[in-house]
Amino acid sequence: MRIIPAIDIIEGKCVRLSKGDYSTQKIYNEHPLEVAKAFEAHGIEYLHLVDLDGAKSKHIVNHKVLEEIATKTRLKIDFGGGLKTDEDLRIAFESGAQQITGGSIAVKNPETFTGWIQQYGADKIILGADVKGEYIATDGWLETSDQSLFTFLAHYQNEGVRTTICTDISKDGMLEGPSFNLYAKIIAKTTLKLVASGGISNFDELPRLAEMGCDGTIIGKAIYENRISLKQLENFILNR
């Protein structure tokens, strides 16, 4: 299972939210590159970089942060937040993203998202499945759609998607543990590679997610609040 730390960006700074609520913003570092370099120094290969300004404004905003991390580390970066147009995608890839995650666009403009899969290939395009209950949420989690999670996943599996990042918004940033039951259902009902996201609170949850068959897990606040140390993650990666 891949360990994928998250850096969420508002105004160029590394922040975390609780349940996607922008009013709960907490700044952890003014310099995201420093955070990324610390991850890399502990053997981490992957990074989930989220442009929260982009998610709110509905177009890419913090591509300079992406470019700086991409040029000054060797991390494989999955970038998301506010990617709505072909131009947004071009900027993201030219700024150094190895993959992009599309969530809201896949709900609201499926033709565009499907076109991206066809143009760039399924290895480059990740399906973001952010859920409240079992319904898909969009626009930086500010809206909930009427699409059920499993209908959504089945549709895009048929369109060629191979990987999904599923975030249970009710768990995100709460340090109460991930949605094990939800992830077990996704693994049972689909053939998608599942990256679990939201709620990771301690190291012991990671082997459990790995045993379930998750392809990766995204860890955010648990790192920043020192619930999980980078040394623990380094050892997990070395011993997997």
- Give the residue numbers annotated as catalytic, written as ranges: 8, 130
Angle at 49 between CA 46 and CA 185, to 5 degrees: 75
Task: Read off the tokens for 108.
Answer: 């609201």
Contacts of 155 (CB under 8 A, 6+ apart): 110
What number of other Cβ atoms are within 10 A of residue 162's Cβ?
Answer: 17
Count the residues in the chain: 240
Q: Which of 129, 119, 65 is nearest to 92 (CA)?
A: 65
Note whether 233 and 222 are within 8 A (CB): no
Nearest to 61 by CA among 47, 50, 51: 51
Find where tokens 């050892």 sit: 235
Structure-token pair, residue 204: 């012991």
Longest dimension (CA), the chain: 43
